[in-house]
Chains A and B, each alone.
Chain A
Amino acid sequence: MRPQFNFFKNIDKITVLLFFFLVIIGWVNVYAAEINENHRSIFDFSQSYGKQFVWIITAILLITIIFTIDMKFFPAFAYIIFGGVMLLLVGVLLFGTTVNASKSWFHIGPVAIQPAEFAKYATALALARVIYDNKSKSRTFKDLLKPLMIIAIPTLLIFLQNDTGTTLVFAAFFIVLYREGFVPGWIIILGIFGVFLFVLTLLINEFVIIGVLTGLSLIIAFFLRKKTSSVKQLLALMLLINAYVYVVDYAYDEILQPHQKMRIAVLIDESVDQRGAGYNLHQSKIAIGSGGLTGKGFLQGTQTKFSFVPEQGTDFIFCTVGEEWGFVGSVVLIGLFLTLLIRIILLAERQRSVFSRVFGYSLASIIFFHFMVNIGMTIGLVPVIGIPLPMISYGGSSLWAFSVFLFTFLKLDSRRLEFL
Chain B
Amino acid sequence: MQNNYQSSEISSRRKNFIIFFIVLTGLIFLTRLFFIQIIDHRYKIFANSNIQRIVTDYPARGLIYDRNGELMVFNEPYYDLMVLPGQVREMDTLEFINLLDITKEQLENRLQAARVYSRFRASVFERQISKDIYAVLQEKLFKYPGFYVQPRTLRKYPEPVAAHTFGYVGEAGPAEIAANPYYRPGDYIGISGIERHYEEILRGQKGTRIVLVDALNREIGSFQEGRYDTLAVAGTDLYASLDLELQMYGEKLLQNKRGSIVAIEPSSGEILALVSSPGYDPNLLVGRIRTQNYQMLQNDTLKPLFNRALMASYPPGSVFKVANFLVGLQEGGITTHSRYGCPGYYRSGGITIRCRTHPQPVNVVSGLQYSCNTFSAIQFRNTLELPKFESMQQALTTWRDHIVSMGFGVTFDSDLSHELPGQIGSADYYDRIYGPRGWKALTVISLAIGQGEIGTTPVQLANLAATVANRGYYFTPHVVKAIGHPDSLNPGFLTRKRTTIDSVHFEVMAQAMFETVETGTGRFSRMDDISMAGKTGTVQNPHGENHSAFIAFAPVENPQIAISVIVENAGGGATWAAPISSLMIEKYINREVKRDWFEQRILDAAF
A binding-site residues for B, Cβ under 8 Å: 37-38, 137-140, 175, 178-179, 181, 185, 271, 273, 275, 278-279, 282, 285-293, 302-303, 305-308, 322, 326-327, 330-331, 334-335, 337-338, 341-342, 345, 349, 364, 368, 371-372, 375-376, 379-381
Which of B2, B25, B38, B46 contacts A286, CB < 8 Å? Answer: B46
User: In this assembly, does B598 line the interface, its C-beta being within 8 Å of a C-beta of chain A?
Assistant: no
Flag if B51 contacts A289 (CB, 8 Å).
Answer: no
B228 / chain A contacts, CB cutoff of 8 Å: 275, 278-279
Interface flags for B111-123 (1: CB within 8 Å of A; 0: not) read 0000110111100
Chain A CB within 10 Å, residue with most, of B5, B22, B28, B46: B22
A303 / chain B contacts, CB cutoff of 8 Å: 47
Which of B11, B17, B32, B54 contacts A307, CB < 8 Å? Answer: B54
Flag if B22 contacts A338 (CB, 8 Å).
Answer: yes
Flag if A288 contacts B36 (CB, 8 Å).
Answer: yes
CA gap between A37 and B22 in the complex, in Å: 39
Assuming the A-B contacts A178-B18, A286-B43, A302-B86, are A140 and B34 also in contact, with contact meaning beta carbons closer than 8 angstroms in the complex?
A: no
Determine how close the nearest CB of chain A comes to the CB of B122; give it in whole angstroms: 10
Which of B38, B51, B120 contacts A293, CB < 8 Å? Answer: B38
Q: Chain B: interface residue count, which band? A: 35 or more
Flag if A185 contacts B14 (CB, 8 Å).
Answer: yes
Assuming the A-B contacts A275-B228, A285-B43, A327-B34, are A375 and B120 also in contact, with contact meaning beta carbons closer than 8 angstroms in the complex?
A: no
Flag if A292 contacts B26 (CB, 8 Å).
Answer: no
User: In this assembly, does B414 line the interface, its C-beta being within 8 Å of a C-beta of chain A?
Assistant: no
Chain B CB within 10 Å, residue with most, of A290, A341, A376: A290
A290 / chain B contacts, CB cutoff of 8 Å: 43-44, 46-48
CA gap between A184 and B228 in the complex, in Å: 47
Which of B34, B51, B86 contacts A305, CB < 8 Å? Answer: B86
Flag if A305 contacts B46 (CB, 8 Å).
Answer: no
Flag if A289 contacts B47 (CB, 8 Å).
Answer: yes
B30 / chain A contacts, CB cutoff of 8 Å: 330-331, 334
Interface flags for B69-89 (1: CB within 8 Å of A; 0: not) read 000000000000000011000
Interface flags for B161-177 (1: CB within 8 Å of A; 0: not) read 00000000000000000
The residue of chain A having its C-beta at the shortest distance from the C-beta of B4 within the complex is A181
Which of A37, A179, A181, A379 contacts B32, CB < 8 Å? Answer: A379
B2 / chain A contacts, CB cutoff of 8 Å: 138-140
Assuming the A-B contacts A289-B40, A290-B47, A327-B37, are A305 and B14 also in contact, with contact meaning beta carbons closer than 8 angstroms in the complex?
A: no
Residue contacts A-B, CB under 8 angstroms, 10 given:
A37-B116, A140-B2, A181-B10, A271-B227, A289-B43, A292-B37, A302-B47, A307-B120, A308-B120, A379-B29
User: In this assembly, does B267 line the interface, its C-beta being within 8 Å of a C-beta of chain A?
Assistant: no
The residue of chain B having its C-beta at the shortest distance from the C-beta of A323 within the complex is B47
Determine how close the nearest CB of chain B comes to the CB of A301; give it in whole angstroms: 9
The residue of chain B having its C-beta at the shortest distance from the C-beta of A348 within the complex is B15
Which of B11, B26, B118 contacts A334, CB < 8 Å? Answer: B26
CA gap between A286 and B52 in the complex, in Å: 11
CA gap between A285 and B36 in the complex, in Å: 8
Flag if B44 contacts A292 (CB, 8 Å).
Answer: yes
The residue of chain A having its C-beta at the shortest distance from the C-beta of B7 within the complex is A181
Which of B6, B38, B86, B227 contacts A327, CB < 8 Å? Answer: B38
Interface flags for B23-62 (1: CB within 8 Å of A; 0: not) read 1011011101110111010111011100110100000000
The residue of chain B having its C-beta at the shortest distance from the C-beta of A176 within the complex is B18
User: In this assembly, does B216 line the interface, its C-beta being within 8 Å of a C-beta of chain A?
Assistant: no
Assuming the A-B contacts A139-B2, A305-B120, A342-B19, are A327 and B33 also in contact, with contact meaning beta carbons closer than 8 angstroms in the complex?
A: yes
User: In this assembly, does B519 line the interface, its C-beta being within 8 Å of a C-beta of chain A?
Assistant: no
CA gap between A342 and B25 in the complex, in Å: 13
Tell me which residues from 106 to 136 in chain B have a Cβ below 8 Å from any Cβ of chain A.
115-116, 118-121
CA gap between A396 and B586 in the complex, in Å: 79
B11 / chain A contacts, CB cutoff of 8 Å: 179, 349
Which secondary structure characterizes the binding site on chain A?
helix
Flag if A338 contacts B38 (CB, 8 Å).
Answer: no
User: In this assembly, does B590 line the interface, its C-beta being within 8 Å of a C-beta of chain A?
Assistant: no
User: In this assembly, does B230 line the interface, its C-beta being within 8 Å of a C-beta of chain A?
Assistant: yes
Flag if B14 contacts A178 (CB, 8 Å).
Answer: yes
Determine how close the nearest CB of chain A comes to the CB of B100; give it in whole angstroms: 23
Other A-B pairs, 4, CB within 8 Å; known A137-B5, A290-B44, A334-B29? A175-B18, A308-B120, A326-B37, A371-B25
Flag if A306 contacts B120 (CB, 8 Å).
Answer: yes
The residue of chain B having its C-beta at the shortest distance from the C-beta of A290 within the complex is B47
CA gap between A159 and B37 in the complex, in Å: 36
Flag if A337 contacts B38 (CB, 8 Å).
Answer: no
Assuming the A-B contacts A179-B15, A338-B22, A342-B19, are A289 and B36 also in contact, with contact meaning beta carbons closer than 8 angstroms in the complex?
A: yes
Across chains A and B, which 3 residue pairs bring their CB atoms closest together, nearest first? A289-B43, A290-B47, A181-B5
CA gap between A140 and B38 in the complex, in Å: 50
CA gap between A302 and B116 in the complex, in Å: 17
CA gap between A420 and B116 in the complex, in Å: 62
A273 / chain B contacts, CB cutoff of 8 Å: 227
A275 / chain B contacts, CB cutoff of 8 Å: 228, 230
CA gap between A19 and B12 in the complex, in Å: 26
B121 / chain A contacts, CB cutoff of 8 Å: 306-307
A139 / chain B contacts, CB cutoff of 8 Å: 2, 5
Flag if A286 contacts B47 (CB, 8 Å).
Answer: yes
A342 / chain B contacts, CB cutoff of 8 Å: 19, 22-23
Which of A279, A293, A368, A381 contacts B22, CB < 8 Å? Answer: A368
CA gap between A305 and B54 in the complex, in Å: 14
Assuming the A-B contacts A285-B36, A288-B43, are A38 and B116 also in contact, with contact meaning beta carbons closer than 8 angstroms in the complex?
A: yes
Chain B CB within 10 Å, residue with most, of A286, A293, A345, A380: A286
Flag if B118 contacts A306 (CB, 8 Å).
Answer: yes
CA gap between A326 and B5 in the complex, in Å: 44
Assuming the A-B contacts A139-B5, A140-B2, A381-B29, are A179 and B43 also in contact, with contact meaning beta carbons closer than 8 angstroms in the complex?
A: no
CA gap between A385 and B198 in the complex, in Å: 42
CA gap between A335 and B29 in the complex, in Å: 11
Flag if B44 contacts A308 (CB, 8 Å).
Answer: no
Flag if A372 contacts B5 (CB, 8 Å).
Answer: no
CA gap between A137 and B5 in the complex, in Å: 9
Assuming the A-B contacts A178-B18, A289-B42, A330-B37, are A372 and B47 also in contact, with contact meaning beta carbons closer than 8 angstroms in the complex?
A: no
Interface flags for B230-249 (1: CB within 8 Å of A; 0: not) read 10000000000000000000
CA gap between A275 and B11 in the complex, in Å: 48
Chain B CB within 10 Å, residue with most, of A37, A303, A307, A331: A307
Which of B5, B19, B37 contacts A345, CB < 8 Å? Answer: B19
CA gap between A368 and B21 in the complex, in Å: 10
CA gap between A375 and B44 in the complex, in Å: 20
CA gap between A306 and B37 in the complex, in Å: 21
Assuming the A-B contacts A308-B52, A338-B23, A342-B22, are A292 and B38 also in contact, with contact meaning beta carbons closer than 8 angstroms in the complex?
A: yes
B224 / chain A contacts, CB cutoff of 8 Å: 282
CA gap between A273 and B230 in the complex, in Å: 12
CA gap between A129 and B40 in the complex, in Å: 49
A289 / chain B contacts, CB cutoff of 8 Å: 36-37, 40, 42-44, 46-47
The residue of chain B having its C-beta at the shortest distance from the C-beta of A365 within the complex is B18
CA gap between A125 and B397 in the complex, in Å: 78
The residue of chain A having its C-beta at the shortest distance from the C-beta of B15 within the complex is A349
CA gap between A271 and B46 in the complex, in Å: 16
Determine how close the nearest CB of chain B comes to the CB of A27; give it in whole angstroms: 21
CA gap between A365 and B17 in the complex, in Å: 13
CA gap between A305 and B121 in the complex, in Å: 10
